[in-house]
Amino acid sequence: MKYQGVIFDLDGVICSTDEYHYQAWKALADRLGIPFDRELNSQLRGVSRMESLDIILRSSDRVCTDAEKATLAAEKNALYRALLARMTPRDLSADVRRTLDALRQAGLRLAIGSSSKNTPFILERMGLDGFFDAVADGNCITHSKPHPEVFLKAAEMLGLPPRQCLVIEDAHAGVEAAVAGGFDCAAMGDAKEDARAAYRLQALSDLLQIIDSQEKPAKS
Ligand code: BG6
Ligand code: MG
């Protein structure tokens, strides 16, 4: 089998926390009087909290010191975590649950590769703590996507080379990171039309067909 592992982005792939990121950034931007819409929000997918703040500030004439930026990022994160705290395992969609269970059943090694420092909290809210064989996230990387570090770390934790892992992404920065790391990428959502992706998914469960159609070892 070509793919022995699957590395999932978290926000927008496993859960709809990308919407909560939008709501929290929007509340902060409104308070500061900075224009912010879903188009600008889509540029924040996959990139770190501080880089996201820099992108938002660039669209205004506001100049902030590093200390002010840290305060603003903390304010956004508090708003975001208040939204995350409302999540329960019922927020895990049936499609995602079915896909994860089927992949596990098929014997694949499963990992998270996310830029988010809130990954452990989100997995706990979704009832997924302890489910994945490896979790590489914003807490263990120096460079966020589009740098491949988080996916390379996840593959290393799985004990697999990049060519044996398929990355699932909803962000252009994530597709770029996967390809830069030597991974095939299946893209969905915002990144679905990204030409660098090897596969396009309408729903996460489309992945099952890709895995199922892989060449199986011949039976003797
Ligand atoms: C990524 C999101 O998963 O995590 C980005 O796509 C976000 O939008 C990044 O900025 C960092 O998240 P956090 O939870 O560490 O602020
Ligand atoms: Mg994402």
Per-residue pLDDT tens digits for 52-104: 999 999 989 899 999 999 999 999 999 999 999 999 999 999 999 999 999 99
Q: Which two tokens stand for residue 168?
A: 């699932």
Integer angstrom CA distances of residue 163 from 24, 174, 197: 36, 16, 14
Q: Which residues pair with 166 in a beta bridge?
A: 6, 184
Give the closest residue to 186 by CA, choosing from 116, 113, 115: 113
List, by residue number, the catalytic residues: 9, 11
Quick one: pLDDT at residue 1? 82
E strand or H helix that includes residue 112: strand 109-113
CA–centroid distance, residue 212 to ligand 1 (Å)? 31
Question: Helical H runs in the chain?
Answer: 17-32, 38-42, 49-58, 66-84, 94-105, 119-125, 149-158, 172-180, 206-212
Give, as residue ranges, everything with CB less than 5 Å from ion ligand 2: 9, 11-12, 170-171
Cβ(174) – ligand 1 distance below 6 Å = no
Q: Which of 128, 87, 90 is nearest to 110 (CA)?
A: 128
- Convert the pLDDT of each residue in 107-160 to its tens digit: 999 999 999 999 999 999 999 999 999 999 999 999 999 999 999 999 999 999
Distance CA 3, CA 35 (A): 43
Cβ atoms 186, 196 nearer than 8 A: no
> What's residue 11's pLDDT?
96
Could you tell me the two tokens for 42?
A: 């889509």
Q: Which ligand is nearest to the CA of 175?
A: 2
User: Is 49 a pocket residue for ligand 1 (Cβ < 6 Å)?
Assistant: yes
Q: Kindly give the distance from the C-alpha atom of residue 59 to the centroid of ligand 1, in angstroms, as a whole number.
A: 19
Question: What separation in Å is there between the alpha carbon of 184 and the centre of ligand 1?
Answer: 22
What Cα–Cα distance (Å) separates residue 205 from each residue in 1, 22, 103, 170?
19, 25, 10, 14
Beta carbons within 10 angstroms of residue 59's beta carbon: 14
Q: Which two tokens stand for residue 94?
A: 């049936």
CATH numbers and ranges of domains, the chain: 5-16+89-215 (3.40.50.1000), 18-84 (1.10.150.240)
173 touches 194 (CB < 8 A):
no
> Average model confidence (pLDDT) for the chain?
96
How does pLDDT run across 166-191, given as a tens digit for each residue? Answer: 999 999 999 999 999 999 999 999 99
